[in-house]
Structure 1
């Protein structure tokens, strides 16, 4: 076959996605400009109607192959899919995403042009309800998830990590695939190891992927606590050799936790010193709440969404920070611990 042929294996880990899986698969089926393709749906042990929906999709479309991962972890599902893939380029798809037209063909051409082993675009969160829209704004803004280029956008070029990922299958297999002891942060870790072997990870702004955010406070807390917990696990394993922005949420949590203790100690000490201690303890609360209020007020969103940001931003930051602290201090047990799904 011609080396320039666009032959792609789409791999999608799936767990409890009955409301999203059909739209995600439809966006993959709509990809044009490919010479050959297959869609590998790797099913975890869902407790909703996901398996039934997938069975219906597979019956209608011969390109779909259904694989199984009873252990659920995304890292394991990706490794199962990559091992079974028939084609040299693997496109990871999340069941919460909707790929834009021409995504795969553009990605493969860009991957080859950049000489990269992994490539990704922007994770463009879009919400349908006012609450989801507030969460989406947090995803797309430095005020929510920090300044990673795949959240905020930027110029094409080498990147620290890649959203979803369009992989050179051979390069991923050469480093042993995803680390199956990680339930989250597995993509960042994979890219770190690819770059350590001399590979290039590339950001391609032409790829703009719609992501559907969590729709409830409970789901958002669970997701962000899990993300923080596994980021803390990675920080502990690497001895802190990670970007400084990952330390901001846990530092905030420590400062907020120390505040009441300083105020109490100040009351015991009394006098000017005690008053200064109480003021110092109150400072993190005053600064953080003022920052949240200012950030929400400046957001270019409808008033109802702006109001919800006052709760959404702390719901992102604080569970992540708490989870990260626990991940740093306490090793996570089992790949399904704190999966956030």
Structure 2
């Protein structure tokens, strides 16, 4: 018999997708017991009612409140409510393949890892979403992170979502509720710092729907950059050139545009960036419908410049230590 597993789901404004997402968890091809804990935030739609209806009809599902609406708080609340030795972190709109949990548990057992996860398989419907999906699976768009671009299985800095040994989560005190974004990267860093192994398993693919327009995409990547800077301040030595490339691009473009009235060759800096993303779009956009291909340069620029601006403008006040008593160990005692 396989070990029992707790699936924890932070849920906010997920009325449309929650029933299907939960059902795909309950229908997993897995012979161990599965419990699902929904941590529901203050939603603008009928998410609370849908979650309660699911729990009323299915004894394997329970609901816990997340008054803050923040993801790490939701994850810790659900962790405290759950009980099984294996814990899977799943989003309220994630569509899991039927062998997801079985593959994860087998990989945990084979590798001795503390956390295993797979690929964030971005899939778009509209032309803009298709362009974002292509950018999110391209090194030009997101660097060389395996959970975006794929690759061979093996040790990794971080993975998408994650299936954990509970003992590892308890060892590091759960999710750090200070991090409104980048909480998964930060959690995996602490697991690795305490001697644990994070493992990328490419067989684990979870469909992801990209943001539907440039404004939403820019906001998403601005906050990614802002909070990745907070992680860098908190954990020294966790930044490399892949993370510095977007803010350097922003600085170069601003410098070039500001200096060009006095020294015209400076305009070559933003011009070279424009040429680079146009060439990159042509290189990586092969096979896309024309409507998606013409949007790809805009998508690359939005991702790069929003992330870089967020990183550069991340205020030091975000790095203040969080109040004591907000980790998983405190919730269990």
TM-score in terms of structure 2 length = 0.91
1:94 alignment partner, SS class: coil
**How many residues are treated as equivalent by the alignment?**
319
Distance apart, 1:247 and its partner CA: 0.9
1:62 correspondence with 2:59: yes
1:97 alignment partner, SS class: coil
1:216 correspondence with 2:213: yes
Residue 326 of structure 2 is matched in structure 1 by none
RMSD, matched Cα: 1.7
CA contact 2:26–2:34 (8 Å) conserved in 1 = no
2:184 alignment partner, SS class: helix
Residue 327 of structure 2 is matched in structure 1 by none
Equivalent in 132, 157, 160 of residue 129 of structure 2 = 132
Residue 297 of structure 1 is matched in structure 2 by 282
How many Å separate the matches in 2 of 1:21 and 1:223? 21
1:263 correspondence with 2:249: no
1:332 alignment partner, SS class: helix
Residue 278 of structure 1 is matched in structure 2 by 264
1:318 correspondence with 2:295: no
1:160 alignment partner, SS class: coil
Residue 108 of structure 2 is matched in structure 1 by 111
Give unpaired runs (5+ residues) of structure 1.
267-276, 336-341
1:11-22 equivalences in 2 (<5 Å): 11-22=8-19
Residue 338 of structure 1 is matched in structure 2 by none
TM-score in terms of structure 1 length = 0.89
Distance apart, 1:230 and its partner CA: 0.4
In our comparison, the structure showing a higher alpha carbon Rg is 1
1:164 alignment partner, SS class: strand
1:170 alignment partner, SS class: helix
How many Å separate the matches in 2 of 1:62 and 1:129? 38
CA contact 2:226–2:307 (8 Å) conserved in 1 = yes
Identify if the C-alpha distance between structure 1 residues 284 and 24 changes in structure 2 by more than 3 Å, giving closer, same or farther.
farther
Deviations 1:147-202 (A, max 9, x none): 10010111111001111010011111111111110011111111111111111110
How many Å separate the matches in 2 of 1:70 and 1:320? 28
Deviations 1:202-235 (A, max 9, x none): 0011111111111122221221111111011112
How many Å separate the matches in 1 of 2:317 and 2:17? 32
Is the deviation greater in 79-88 or in 235-244? 235-244
Give unpaired runs (5+ residues) of structure 2.
323-333
2:160 alignment partner, SS class: coil
